[in-house]
């Protein structure tokens, strides 16, 4: 998803921006929410349902060993983005 935002006036530091998608978008969204059903395919997991399963493991993100016996659902993925900042203690090992 790419979105260009063009300001029609100067924006002050810390000023909150508000984006109004309009009535047509809101109507379409409400219709989607009312009619959406999770996929019935085998192995599908709703992300919110995983919160309770995290209590069984050492942390919210399963370790490599935990994933061997209880892998993450195929429709979910975890990712970590770390900016390339200078590390005072040298490179991570």
pTM of the model: 0.35
Distance from C-alpha of 13 to C-alpha of 9, rounded to nearest angstrom:
13
Tens digit of pLDDT for each residue in 13-61?
999 988 888 899 999 999 999 998 877 777 777 777 766 665 665 556 7
Residue 91 has pLDDT above 60, yes or no: no
72 with 44: CB under 8 angstroms? no
62 with 72: CB under 8 angstroms? yes
What confidence score (pLDDT) does residue 10 get? 93
Q: Alpha helix locations (H) across 14-63?
A: 23-35, 50-53
What confidence score (pLDDT) does residue 70 get? 79
């Amino acid at each position: 998803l790419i979105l260009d935002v063009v300001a029609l006036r100067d924006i002050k530091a810390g000023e909150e921006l508000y984006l109004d998608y309009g009535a047509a978008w809101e109507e379409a969204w409400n219709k989607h929410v009312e009619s959406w059903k999770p996929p019935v395919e085998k192995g599908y997991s709703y992300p919110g349902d995983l919160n309770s399963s995290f209590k069984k493991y050492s942390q919210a993100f399963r370790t490599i060993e935990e994933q061997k016996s209880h892998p993450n659902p195929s429709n979910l993925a975890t990712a970590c983005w770390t900016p390339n900042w200078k590390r005072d203690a040298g490179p991570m090992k």
